[in-house]
Copies of this chain bind each other. A is one copy, B any other.
Amino acid sequence: MTDAADTEPRDAEKSLFEAPPMAEQERMVEAILFASADPVSVAEMAARMPHGCDPAEALVYLRRRYEGRGVRVVKVGDAWAIRTAPDLGFLMQKEIVETRKLSRAAIETLAIVAYHQPVTRAEIEEIRGVAVSRGTIDQLLELDWIRFGRRRMTPGRPVTFVVTQDFLDHFGLESARDLPGLKELRAAGLLDSRPLPGSGTPDDDSEDQSGQSELFED
């Protein structure tokens, strides 16, 4: 800063606003990702890095650099994180945090939210064929694996549920589009919302059918 000020004013300005070389930006992204236990968004990296940096580009290099290593650079939603390679999990017995065992109802509900999102409670109940207990939803909300989505524009304006970035992070997914078997389920029509013939209003359902199908369009 000070030595830049000593040179010609134009040069000083240039050096002040010129982004560091890409190799240096890669180091910065590396340091930021290593330091954080949670995924960091590109926007946040950019905010912390010097003016003019392009963390998205630096990430491309960094990701390549860590291919095949003991840790990996992974994408989680629109954020990035470093995680140990899954094949080395056996080394980390000490680090395993015992998590609360999820009930079958909770696991199924989670899967339904993930594959059908955004989904209302009534839809979850229709798919499972039983009432969803308050505790099940609460548990998933508490784990920060699901959250409230936008209200459905149908009578009663019911709330919907969607999965979170924490969910993606936990299951090592880049996005909800990468859910296992999603394409096949969709092709088989099993993610459609079909009302019982002769009941329900078809108009509501056309909206219901958005959801995971939306994910494929953008």
Contact = CB atoms under 8 A, between A and B. Distances in A.
Contact of A69 (B30, B71, B94): B30
21 contacts: A27-B69, A27-B85, A28-B70, A30-B69, A30-B71, A31-B70, A31-B71, A34-B34, A34-B70, A34-B84, A35-B84, A35-B91, A35-B92, A36-B94, A37-B95, A44-B94, A47-B94, A48-B91, A48-B93, A48-B94, A49-B91
- How many monomers of this protein are in the complex? 2
Interface string A41-62: 0001001110000000000000
Given A34-B82, A35-B84, A27 B70 contact: yes
Contacts of A32: 70, 91-92
Contacts of A37: 95
B48 A84 contact: no
> Which of A68, A82, A92 has the most C-beta atoms of chain B within 10 angstroms of its own C-beta?
A92
Listed from nearest, the 7 A-B pairs whose CB atoms lie closest are: A30-B70, A31-B70, A27-B70, A31-B88, A31-B84, A34-B71, A35-B95
Interface residues of A, number: 28
A208 interface: no
Per DSSP, chain A at the interface is helix
A61 to B, nearest CB: 12
A12 B36 CA distance: 44
A27 B93 CA distance: 16
Interface string A71-106: 100000000001011001001111100000000000
A26 interface: yes
A162 interface: no
Contacts of A70: 26-32, 34
Given A34-B82, A82-B34, A28 B71 contact: no
A126 to B, nearest CB: 42
A101 to B, nearest CB: 23
A171 B161 CA distance: 55
A32 B165 CA distance: 25
B85 A31 contact: yes
